[in-house]
Structure 1
Amino acid sequence: MNSVPTLSVMIVDDEAPARTRLRDLLADVAAEVPNAVVAEAANGLLAVEATGGCSVDVALVDIRMPKMDGIELARHLTRLEHPPAIIFVTAYDSYAVQAFELNAIDYLVKPVRAQRLVDALQKVRQNRTVAPQVLSQIQQGARTHLSCHERGRLLLIPLPEILYFKADLKYVTARTASREYLLDESLTHLEEEFSARFIRLHRSALVARDAIAGFEKNATEDAETQWQALLRGVPDRLPVSRRQWPLVKSYAKQLSSGV
């Protein structure tokens, strides 16, 4: 008889007693659903770090957490080369529960019951994936971080550190004061999600509003761009298209007036 593979589990919850309860429940049901807890984390940021050192089959993820909530964490985890199945854990978030039921996403309601946990873990073997676009629709508000793959690791980039996004063919570059990151993101989607923080300068560039130091006339003979944006902390200059200049000009006036 073939033995049932053991599921490697990561528990993510900001409350230590909740993590302990889940760990104890997993031990209680191990005879029925073989499993091993390979990582624990108190928030989404620590959970992403934990995935760099182990392989995870399923993540039990609390929804309401500081620094990074469970929905955003799940969006980053789906970018892993071998993403874990996600089972959300919630105490009272009726909106999330309704959205999960609508999209057939598995969830557990606190206090978690052993049989319900067994049912959820057994379903993991049938369907491991959650569509990233579904998670983006469920998440309330913009992400706090973006993520990218680099040398086999998933890196998180805090939004406040990003000065601008620049599109080049199929990739988008995120520029911080110290370096660049390659993202598998759409510039259009980034503009929609982060419209409060970034402003469109050009068909291929979005810039953080608070990163703009000023504007100056473009010294080159370019029919499409007449102005360029000067940035704080980096020598880069970003072209402003003639099409976007009327919209950007009002922001330029605010800068010059100190508003």
Structure 2
Amino acid sequence: MPILVTTPRSPWNLTSRSTVSDSPSPKTDQQAGEQHNEPLTLLLVDDEKPARQRLAQLLAPHSRYRVIGEAEDGINALQLIDERQPDVLLLDIRMPGMDGIEVARHLLDLDHPPAVIYTTAYDEFALEAFETRALHYLVKPIREQRLLDALSRAAITRANPEPKQPEIIRERRSHFSVYRQGKRFLVAVEQLLYLQAEQKYVSLHTADDEWLIDESLTQLEDEFGELVVRVHRNALVWRSAIQGITRTDAGYSLFFEQSDKQLPISRRRISAVKKLLK
């Protein structure tokens, strides 16, 4: 099932995989427009509790910084970001499930994303990290002064926000961020059957649902490469989801595991699809 990220009716109803500190509700528009003399709000994201505790200890003596929540995986981090709207994300990279790099890529879609400061034990991800417009990259063990320097830069950025930059080409993602009735959901790539272009949008089809995204089918084909096959000029299918081919009055269609959905195959593509299934 897709994961609900935004829960406006119950903003503090978190799953057992995230821990949060007591804090007031997210900033209102009026508060956001006030002078930037309020504490910088931080969200700590790391799958290791001692690492989160270490960051909290370093920040505790400094009243200009306030931790408003913690998460131990990427999905719960996105949930907390939507609910609490932190100014800064102290973000680990290597985490189970959705890693920190993908979390930061999801933030690129936001009009006012939090500043991202990576806190990681690995230095080999630096180039990839800065492609997500990270503000800083700190290698563990985190030293207090380096952390404070990075946060000072974040405070300056908050006071003087830069215009939103053109979207960066994505690496292959594990989830899609989709919206429905003002709520954000995460749809896992592994749940998808196929993608279908519909005018200006692309629909994501799972076994029992359908979601719209504002992306190009061609770009998605480039992103997912060998994982998908084009069966029609307006349709990409996840190879792993294909159960078989059936003959219909109109030609041939694909059918899928655990779903009643079928998808027509164009005559130009039928030979390639049959070879794929041999």
TM over 0.5: yes
- Aligned residue type for 2:255: L
Whole-angstrom CA distance in 1 between matches of 2:79 and 2:133: 28
Whole-angstrom CA distance in 1 between matches of 2:241 and 2:101: 28
Match of 1:118 among 148, 159, 183: 148
Is 1:21 the counterpart of 2:54 in the alignment? yes
1:7-156 mapped onto 2 (5 Å cutoff): 7-30=40-63, 34-94=64-124, 96-100=125-129, 105=134, 106-124=136-154, 125-126=156-157, 132-133=167-168, 136=170, 142-156=172-186
- Aligned residue type for 2:139: V
155-164 or 119-128: bigger deviation: 119-128
- Aligned residue type for 2:168: Q
Report the Cα offset of residue 185 of structure 1.
2.6
Secondary structure in structure 2 of the residue aligned to 1:11:
strand
Relative to structure 1, the CA distance from residue 149 to residue 79 in structure 2 (aligned partners, 3 Å threshold; closer, same or farther) is: farther
What TM-score, normalized to structure 1? 0.81
Q: Deviations over 1:22-79 (max 9, x none)?
A: 112222333xxx2221121111012122234212211111011111110011112223
Identity level (%): 41
Give the corresponding residue for 2:267.
242
Relative to structure 1, the CA distance from residue 212 to residue 98 in structure 2 (aligned partners, 3 Å threshold; closer, same or farther) is: closer
- Structure 2: where are the runs of 5+ without partners? 1-34
Report the Cα offset of residue 89 of structure 1.
1.4
Relative to structure 1, the CA distance from residue 181 to residue 81 in structure 2 (aligned partners, 3 Å threshold; closer, same or farther) is: farther
Relative to structure 1, the CA distance from residue 131 to residue 108 in structure 2 (aligned partners, 3 Å threshold; closer, same or farther) is: farther
Whole-angstrom CA distance in 1 between matches of 2:101 and 2:130: 15
Relative to structure 1, the CA distance from residue 79 to residue 162 in structure 2 (aligned partners, 3 Å threshold; closer, same or farther) is: same
Relative to structure 1, the CA distance from residue 103 to residue 69 in structure 2 (aligned partners, 3 Å threshold; closer, same or farther) is: closer
Relative to structure 1, the CA distance from residue 3 to residue 158 in structure 2 (aligned partners, 3 Å threshold; closer, same or farther) is: closer
Report the Cα offset of residue 156 of structure 1.
0.8
- Aligned residue type for 1:227: Y
Relative to structure 1, the CA distance from residue 85 to residue 17 in structure 2 (aligned partners, 3 Å threshold; closer, same or farther) is: same
1:188-207 mapped onto 2 (5 Å cutoff): 188-207=218-237
Relative to structure 1, the CA distance from residue 99 to residue 154 in structure 2 (aligned partners, 3 Å threshold; closer, same or farther) is: same
- RMSD of equivalent CA atoms: 2.4
Give the corresponding residue for 1:223.
none
Is 1:251 the counterpart of 2:251 in the alignment? no
Secondary structure in structure 2 of the residue aligned to 1:182:
strand
16-25 or 147-156: bigger deviation: 147-156
Secondary structure in structure 2 of the residue aligned to 1:72:
helix
| 8 Å contact from structure 1 (residues 61, 70) kept in 2 | yes
Relative to structure 1, the CA distance from residue 100 to residue 143 in structure 2 (aligned partners, 3 Å threshold; closer, same or farther) is: closer
Give the corresponding residue for 2:212.
182
Secondary structure in structure 2 of the residue aligned to 1:195:
helix
Is 1:219 the counterpart of 2:249 in the alignment? yes
Larger relative CO (CA 8 A, sep 6+): 1 or 2?
A: 2
| 8 Å contact from structure 1 (residues 48, 154) kept in 2 | no
Report the Cα offset of residue 6 of structure 1.
2.1
Secondary structure in structure 1 of the residue aligned to 2:276:
helix
